[in-house]
Amino acid sequence: MAAHMRERWGSGRGFLLATLGSAVGLGNVWRFSYVAGENGGGAFLLVYLVMVFLVGVPLLLGEFALGRSTQRESAAAFETLAPASRWRHLGLLGVIVAGLILAYYAVIAGWVLKYLSLHLMGSTQEFAAAGFANAFRGFIAHPLEPIAWQFTVMALTVAVVTGGVERGIEAVSKLLMPALGLLLLALAIHSVTLPGFWQGVAFLLQPDWRALTRPQVYLAALGQAFFSMGLAMGVMVTYGSYVAPQRRLPRAAVTIAIGDTLFAIVAGLVIFPAVFSFGLDPAQGPALAFVVLPEVFAQMKGGAWVGAAFFVLLAIAALTSAVSLLEVAVAFAMHRFGWSRKRASLGLGALIFVLGVPASLGFGPWAGLTGIGGRGILDVMDFVAANILLPLNGLLIAVFLGWVWRRRDALAACDLPSSRLGRFWYFSVRYTVPLLVAVVLVRSAWTG
């Protein structure tokens, strides 16, 4: 497709909201809260902030610049910039990781829809009677029901992406992201009224310095930053490619980093006070959102409403993120194979749905299939994607930005002429990011 025919964001605000929609997802609410819970709360938050600004922002800006300067999706962007070297294949890795992540992301998003429907219909009593942990295990072990919800997620995602960049993704983001913000605000205000509010605040904001001596905290923080900011999956390259040349990128990158982080922190201030108010344990791992919180909502006054609001919020966050992951693959197939948007969305949506089915079955009929330290299928996919492929791809992208792309071109593409900010960015992608990520990768390869 010629560059002048390329789809574009209708406005700068639309670009920001769509990108924020991609960044704010299950990662901010479901993943952030349990990872922070497992890694000491406040200390984790501190390390996380450092990772976001030292690693996340420079990479985010670099990815936007790759997309906008080439006006191409992830795979083609690298082919355009390095046609004759091996680096031309790098963008394809992002496309593959995006597809892989979406496959299991849709499974978890499907659980969210199930819990949303339970709360909307006020039918959580059944779950309460069985015990929330048992009920959750029973639900995800069912051979068909979770797959039906996963299918629903994929169908919604395909519907949005089929609508196109401006009339699908951007329109939906403009509609849903303000609603998401309002819901979070309402939940946060409600949270202040809970007896465990200050305990929750202390857990999240008071650093426990001893946690800083544990290397896993750094691994977890970096992995979370990649996942939450949607880095190294081709998303930000692809979304950047729909940005008009005259828009300034550095401010967008910083805005998104701050927005994404604030969202996670406020979500934590909703979740932890609730957990403490009812004497439950914050370090529950992935079950936090699906076991601990429903129990909290069941005990809370007006909890049916709060629970419904919470799962609406989670569903919106998940959908706008899933959309961005599918868009990466769709933009790739449109460019590479000349497919129409509709054909690419339907075909790839179906393929990714099928790829995700085993992840769901892994909690039920295929529970016997485990790997990499006894993990089930979904956890293996998450481990390979989030802990290995994402950092690896991020490392390679940083090396490309800092060592392969000509300094002057890279800085110009980032809208950073040789200012102090430009020097900081260049130093980051050249040294800080590769070094930090390499250390983390090696450590996580060790610890499994």
- The β-bridge partners of 375 are 371
Residue 157 in the binding site for ligand PHE (CB under 6 A):
no
Which residue matches tokens 């892989």?
A: 100
Among 17, 18, 26, 385, which residue sits at the site for ligand PHE (rule: CB under 6 A)? 26
- Which residue number, 101 or 270, has a Cβ lying nearer to ligand PHE? 101
Residue 52 in the binding site for ligand PHE (CB under 6 A):
no
Residue among 191, 194, 104, 204 at smallest CA distance from 154: 104
Neighbours of 28 (CB within 10 A): 27
Residue 230 in the binding site for ligand PHE (CB under 6 A):
yes
AA letter at 95: V
CA distance 68 to 63: 9
Among 321, 387, 393, 428, which residue sits at the site for ligand PHE (rule: CB under 6 A)? 321
Residue 23 in the binding site for ligand PHE (CB under 6 A):
yes
Residue 10 token pair: 């209708």
Region from 133-141, 317-325, 376-384, 420-428 binding ligand PHE, contact rule CB under 6 A: 317-325
Binding mask 322-351 for ligand PHE (x = CB under 6 A): --xx--------------------------
Residue 221 token pair: 């923080």
Binding mask 262-301 for ligand PHE (x = CB under 6 A): ----------------------------------------
Residue among 145, 149, 112 at smallest CA distance from 364: 145
Region from 124-132, 182-190, 222-230, 403-411 binding ligand PHE, contact rule CB under 6 A: 222-230
Residue among 222, 266, 231, 255 at smallest CA distance from 50: 222
CA distance 180 to 167: 19
Residue 101 in the binding site for ligand PHE (CB under 6 A):
yes
Residue 196 in contact with residue 278, Cβ under 8 Å?
A: yes
Least distance in Å: CB of 137 to ligand PHE? 23
Least distance in Å: CB of 228 to ligand PHE? 4
3-state DSSP assignment of residue 309: helix
Residue 90 in contact with residue 400, Cβ under 8 Å?
A: yes
Residue 235 in the binding site for ligand PHE (CB under 6 A):
yes
Q: 110 vs 74, 168, 235, 288, 352, CA distance in Å? A: 27, 21, 21, 16, 14
Residue 156 in the binding site for ligand PHE (CB under 6 A):
no
For 417, phi then psi, to 5°, come to -65, 180
CA distance 436 to 311: 35
Sequence-separated (6 or more) residues with CB below 8 Å from residue 416:
61, 250, 422, 425
Least distance in Å: CB of 270 to ligand PHE? 16
Residue 398 in the binding site for ligand PHE (CB under 6 A):
no
Binding mask 165-204 for ligand PHE (x = CB under 6 A): ----------------------------------------
- Which residue number, 378 or 416, has a Cβ lying nearer to ligand PHE? 378
Least distance in Å: CB of 233 to ligand PHE? 5
Region from 106-114, 225-233, 377-385, 436-444 binding ligand PHE, contact rule CB under 6 A: 225-233
Q: Is 146 exposed, middle or buried (0-12, 13-18, 19+ CB in 10 A)?
A: buried
Among 70, 71, 150, 228, which residue sits at the site for ligand PHE (rule: CB under 6 A)? 228
> CA torsion 348→352→354→356, rounded to 10°?
-170
Binding mask 355-374 for ligand PHE (x = CB under 6 A): --------------------
Residue 440 in the binding site for ligand PHE (CB under 6 A):
no
Residue 124 in the binding site for ligand PHE (CB under 6 A):
no
CA distance 353 to 321: 16
Residue 27 in the binding site for ligand PHE (CB under 6 A):
yes
Residue 28 in the binding site for ligand PHE (CB under 6 A):
yes
Region from 18-26, 239-247, 251-259, 399-407 binding ligand PHE, contact rule CB under 6 A: 18-26
The H-or-E segment that residue 193 falls in is none
For 132, phi then psi, to 5°, come to -65, -35
> CA torsion 269→274→280→286, rounded to 10°?
-60
**Binding residues for ligand PHE, per CB under 6 A?**
22-23, 25-28, 101, 227-228, 230, 233, 235, 321, 324-325
